[in-house]
A = this chain, B = another copy of it.
Amino acid sequence: MTMILPVLIFSLIFSSSNAAVQDFCVADLTLPEGPGGYPCKKQAMVTEKDFSFSGLATLGDTNNLIKAAVTPAFVAQFPGVNGLGISVARLDFGVGGVVPMHTHPGASEVLTVVDGIISAGFISSANAVYFKKLYKGDVMVFPQGLLHFQINSGKSTALAIVSFSSASPGLQLLDYALFGNDLPSELVEAVTFLDAAQIKKLKKVLGGTG
């Protein structure tokens, strides 16, 4: 006897609309974002390419002064993660490379060392320092919103994959926030207690005005 499974069950459920089921929401980056992410691309237009991304395959260019590079696969680069509460990035470190003190305002982060030796740390609201030397295969978590940093503490290059608990984790680099915009020097001085000379020196380097 040939068994015939019920197409009827499906037709009832999916007949009303091809938007009947939402188990993902690939970002339509051409539409205005909302608090929870971008509107969804029409399902009929979605392909497997929306769920994959090749941008992390390329070695980041660490030929710069921090000798490090961050290559993100956030929702803006990787629309398939929209609304799913997850994204990743690639960190490349040259010898002596460093990802300077920064925060992700909207996400926690887990770092996985793929190659090399990385020293990383974060500082809690209670002002405790959690600092650890990480070897190939080690992972470390940086809770949401806290200041943290990563340094290549080995003698060769290093590579890490970092995962975030948001499709759009944000990134606030401390030096850029303080010295790379038009925040007036006197204001920076007043709210950081840094010396005027120090501020002006770093403003010059980072292109800050005022």
Contact = CB atoms under 8 A, between A and B. Distances in A.
Given A38-B34, A70-B9, A110-B81, A146 B131 contact: no
Oligomeric state, in copies: 6
For the complex of A and B, list the 10 residue pairs with the smallest distance between their C-beta atoms, beginning with the closest: A35-B83, A105-B145, A57-B137, A163-B163, A6-B64, A24-B143, A149-B191, A32-B39, A145-B145, A84-B108
Interface residues of A, number: 147
Interface in A79-102: 80-88, 90, 98-101
A191 B34 contact: no
A172 B123 contact: yes
A35 B22 CA distance: 8
A72 B139 contact: no
A199 to B, nearest CB: 10
A5 B145 contact: no
